[in-house]
């Protein structure tokens, strides 16, 4: 059984139908799920629904969850599938109510520095330029800080493939960043350094 100890008891309580346990499970993993979906390119207007879809799948399927893999591994896989679905829906134009949502705000003009939101958008732009498999590997390895072995388990591919995908993804990130005026990037990142002393991400 590979279920993380902290999650194991919670999963059992959920499987026993304890409603408070469902809420605890949601509260515990909601930030991770939402953040990962954002990093995987789910647009702001689709985020709430996408997070809900992930948890609805969890609620539906948890009874059959055997714990052969960690709960977080399963959650990451659900996030990757949901992000793919969200991108496809957006691409195919499904959904009456989403079609007319506001376009994302434009990136900050050169020379004014990048806000946090603009930084995320820049990274998202780079992520958007990556191939899907490369993006998933990059998010899991570089941004979520998972080990190569765990990333390989989630993506169901060999570790060497993970390395290759991360390598390609870094290349795309570098290329995207190189298109931003360096003055803007440097100013904001220097101020970020002083803010983040000991923040630990």
Cβ neighbour number for residue 148 with a 10 Å cutoff: 15
**Smallest distance from the beta carbon of 152 to other proteins, in angstroms?**
13
* Binding flag, residue 198, other proteins (CB under 8 A): no
| Member of 56, 109, 112, 183 binding other proteins (CB under 8 A) | 56
Residues 66-95 binding other proteins (CB under 8 A) are 92-95
Residue list 116-155, contact with other proteins (CB under 8 A): 116-117, 119-120, 122-124, 141-143, 145
**Taking each helix axis from N to C terminus, what angle separates 19-39 and 5-15, rounded to the nearest 10 degrees?**
120
Q: How far is the CB of 11 from other proteins (least distance, A)?
A: 13
Interacting residue with other proteins among 83, 108, 166, 184 (CB under 8 A): 166
8 A C-beta contact, residue 14 and residue 62 = yes
Positions that interact with other proteins (CB under 8 A): 15, 17, 19, 22-23, 26-27, 30-31, 34-36, 38-39, 44-45, 47-48, 51-52, 55-56, 59-61, 63-64, 92-97, 99-100, 116-117, 119-120, 122-124, 141-143, 145, 160, 163-164, 166-168, 170-171, 173-174, 177, 185-186, 188-189, 192-193, 196, 199, 201
């Amino acid at each position: 059984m590979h279920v993380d100890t902290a999650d194991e008891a919670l999963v059992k309580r959920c499987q026993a139908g304890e409603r408070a346990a469902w809420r605890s499970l949601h509260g515990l993993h909601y930030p991770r799920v939402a953040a990962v979906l954002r990093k995987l390119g789910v647009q702001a207007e689709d985020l709430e629904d996408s997070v809900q879809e992930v948890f609805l799948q969890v609620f539906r399927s948890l009874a059959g969850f055997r714990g052969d893999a960690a709960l977080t591994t399963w959650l990451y896989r659900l996030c990757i599938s949901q992000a793919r679905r969200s991108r496809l829906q957006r691409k195919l134009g499904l959904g009456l109510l989403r079609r007319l949502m506001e376009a994302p705000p434009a990136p900050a003009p050169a020379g004014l520095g990048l806000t946090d939101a603009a930084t995320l958008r820049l990274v998202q732009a780079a992520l958007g330029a990556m191939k899907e498999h490369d993006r998933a590997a990059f998010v899991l390895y570089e941004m979520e800080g998972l080990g190569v072995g765990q990333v390989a388990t989630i993506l169901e591919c060999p570790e060497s493939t993970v390395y290759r995908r991360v390598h390609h993804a870094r290349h795309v990130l570098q290329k995207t960043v190189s298109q931003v005026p360096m003055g803007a990037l440097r100013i904001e990142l220097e101020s970020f350094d002083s803010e983040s002393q000991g923040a630990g991400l």
